[in-house]
Amino acid sequence: MLKIDRLSVFYGERQILHDIQLEVHSGEIVALIGPNGAGKSTLIRSVSGVIPIRDGRIFVDEKNVTALSTMERARHISVVPQAVSMPPAFTVWETVLLGRTPYLNFLGQTSAKDEAMARQALEQADVLHLIEKRMDEISGGEQQRVLLARTLAQDTPILLMDEPTTHLDLSHQIDLLKLITKHAREKNLTVLIALHDLNLAAMFADRIAIVQNGLLCVAGTPQETLTSEIIHSVYQVPVHILSHPQTGAPLIIPGIGE
Amino acid sequence: MSLQNNMRRSPYLFSFLFLTLALLLSIAIGSVFISPAEIWRSLTGHGAETSFAILWKIRLPRTVLVLLTGAGLGISGASYQGLFRNPLADPYLIGVASGAALGAVIAMSIPWQYSFLGLLIVPLAAFITALLTVAVVYTIARIGHTVPTTNLILAGVAVSSFATSLTSFLMLRSTDDMRRALGWLLGGSIQNGWTSIWAILPFIAVGVGFLLASGHALNLLQFGDDQAQQLGLNVTRTRTTILIAASLVTATAVSFSGIIGFVGLVVPHLMRMWVGGDYRRLLSLSLISGATALLIADVISRVVLAPQEIPVGIVTALTGAPFFLWVLRRSKNQGYW
């Protein structure tokens, strides 16, 4: 379980996040949505420890991780980044093995156990067949799955993701999110995922948290949060809400004004 | 084809093989040719007296100095490339070498009593100015939390020409034999027999030791600072350590061998094409092959205008600069590496 307790983040004098309060339970997927610049990325980055926090604490299963060293923290929280500007000369295998870093000595020597876990992660993310390819030889969708595999190899209870679907086409978006949901359920992972696409968020998330101007304004099920009033006030766009013919999840369609 | 496959499978075997060949050439070739058989007899104490003297007093110390310099330039070049995530970074492009040269010249222009300690002052001064240069370049190039590579290289070039001008000014003012200082700056080693070796060795050993242990950290840094930290690396501390170690190695190499360009650029690049991007292999292979490359360049500098020698920096620049341009052209359509 991930608990973000009264988190505030500043860039210099400018306050980016105000008193964020959010709990994500084990086995639950929470999507973080909101307009550009609302603070989604900053929230993900500060929870992962990359940005220093001014106030507040972050708990993983009742353990305060803000007090931990970088390496210990990386055993609790891992991040699937966007697959942009990947180092081209690394192989898929070398990349995924780096996920074992929090358990290695400073020389990065891997044991048979580390290699077995990396192999398993490759299999789970469906990229085992790419093991010998270089990162610049595979597609964007494949790169994104390799990064998911690296995170699975990191073997943490908490998984954060910063818009992992942004650079993918539709089928890769759906494949990736299906893969993530499957593993979150199987391994009882806690997943917090920043997403741009409201419909994807509605389809795959158990709950949705909306960030606006650095404040967490609403959190709840897709039905509770993705109403035309809330979306209109957050995104300043009139929308119609339909219902997904297969799942019943809200479907958001922008209106064309008057 | 099978040779190519073998090379790919055992890079260490082959790079040591090349290094051995280069060492043999460097010991055998000079104003007097000494055959491998004669080298063996001398080393085991059965050779002629003249070849024994040439070997121990001239060839071997020079060979070892060139070996250490080349190895240091190779591994520090690879480290800078990893640190700045740019295969075109090089001790010279980011200004560290010119900064080190300035410190070395300042230390040389002060008339120390000739002693072993006086010899240690030069690399120490070079190290201090090299670190100052890096600090200045880094501060200028930094925007917020990031250091764009273009900024880094541009700041490096500017600070580098500033340091070079100061160096030239100091040398013009000095009453000593200017041609000798100029020769040193272009990469002609100072001939001090074994004394230089003992002065260079501790610095190189410490710096290289740290760098050899940084391969895994550099691998993580290739994915950017955010990802490196999210994978458990203390990014700020690691970056600082690697920067200090690489600057120490560069400064030491510069203060005993002058400015030798392009070894730190070309060698890691060739190694990357040979074995891929893993910095654990890249660092150690750049160490070995940096030595090989500079030994061969040094042999060439001894024979092209024999009996006159040309500074080895001229040889490395004449071969390295076209290589640099080729890489630049190639990277336009293939991405950097």
Q: Model confidence over A48-65: pLDDT tens digits?
A: 999 888 899 999 998 999
- Residue labelled with tokens 């960030």: A211
Residues in chain B: 337
What local confidence, expressed as pLDDT, does residue B180 receive? 53
What local confidence, expressed as pLDDT, does residue B178 receive? 53
Of A172, A20, A153, which is closest to residue A74 (Cα–Cα)?
A: A153
Do residue B232 and residue A106 have CB atoms under 8 angstroms apart? no
Of B11, B5, B59, which is closest to residue B31 (Cα–Cα)?
A: B59
* A133 and B CB contact within 8 Å: no
Alpha-carbon gap, residue B51 to B313, rounded angstroms: 28
Do residue A90 and residue B226 have CB atoms under 8 angstroms apart? no
What local confidence, expressed as pLDDT, does residue B304 receive? 87
Between strands A190-194 and A2-11, the pairing is unpaired
Q: Which of A81, A88, A108 sits opposite B227 (nearest CB)?
A: A81
Alpha-carbon gap, residue A239 to A230, rounded angstroms: 10
Alpha-carbon gap, residue A231 to B135, rounded angstroms: 48
Residue pLDDT, tens place only, A98-141: 999 999 988 888 999 999 999 999 999 999 999 999 998 999 88
What are the chain B neighbours of A98 within 8 Å (beta carbons)?
Answer: 219-220, 223, 231
DSSP B176-218: S-HHHHHHHHTTPPP--THHHHHHHHHHHHHHHHHHHTTHHHH
Residue-range domains of chain B with CATH: 1-56 (no CATH), 67-334 (1.10.3470.10)
Residue pLDDT, tens place only, A144-195: 999 999 999 999 999 999 999 888 889 889 999 999 999 899 999 999 999 9
Q: Looking at A68-194, list the stretches that DSSP marks H as alpha helix, in order from N- to C-terminal side.
A: 70-73, 92-97, 112-124, 140-154, 170-187
Q: Which of B85, B231, B277 sits opposite A101 (nearest CB)?
A: B231
Could you give the 3-state DSSP secondary structure of residue A103? helix
Residue pLDDT, tens place only, B90-114: 788 788 989 998 998 888 777 665 5
* A76 and B CB contact within 8 Å: no
Higher pLDDT, B57 or B15: B15
Do residue B234 and residue A70 have CB atoms under 8 angstroms apart? yes
Quickly count: other Cβ atoms within 10 Å of residue A77's Cβ: 23
Inter-chain CB pairs, A–B, below 8 Å: 89
- Sign of the CA dihedral with B292 first, then B295, B301, and B302 last: negative
Q: Which of A75, A88, A98 sits opposite B220 (nearest CB)?
A: A98
What local confidence, expressed as pLDDT, does residue B337 receive? 47
Do residue B230 and residue A79 have CB atoms under 8 angstroms apart? yes
pLDDT bin (cut points 50, 70, 90) of residue B121 is confident
Alpha-carbon gap, residue A91 to A180, rounded angstroms: 23
Do residue B219 and residue A70 have CB atoms under 8 angstroms apart? no
Query: Which pTM was predicted?
Result: 0.89
- Sign of the CA dihedral with B83 first, then B88, B90, and B94 last: negative
CA of A176: how far to CAs of A49, A200, A230, B311, in Å? Answer: 25, 11, 28, 58
What local confidence, expressed as pLDDT, does residue B112 receive? 60
Residue-range domains of chain A with CATH: 2-76+156-254 (3.40.50.300), 86-155 (no CATH)
Could you give the 3-state DSSP secondary structure of residue A217? strand
ipTM at complex level: 0.92
Alpha carbon B23 to its chain centroid, in Å, reads 17
Q: Which of A85, A90, A104 sits opposite B277 (nearest CB)?
A: A90
CA distance B278 to chain A (A): 7
The residue of chain B nearest to residue A81, with distances taken between CA atoms, is: B227
Alpha-carbon gap, residue A75 to A116, rounded angstroms: 18
DSSP 3-state percent helix, strand, coil across chain A (nearest 5): 40, 30, 35
Question: Residue A191 has which token pair?
Answer: 């997943």
Residue pLDDT, tens place only, A69-79: 999 999 999 99
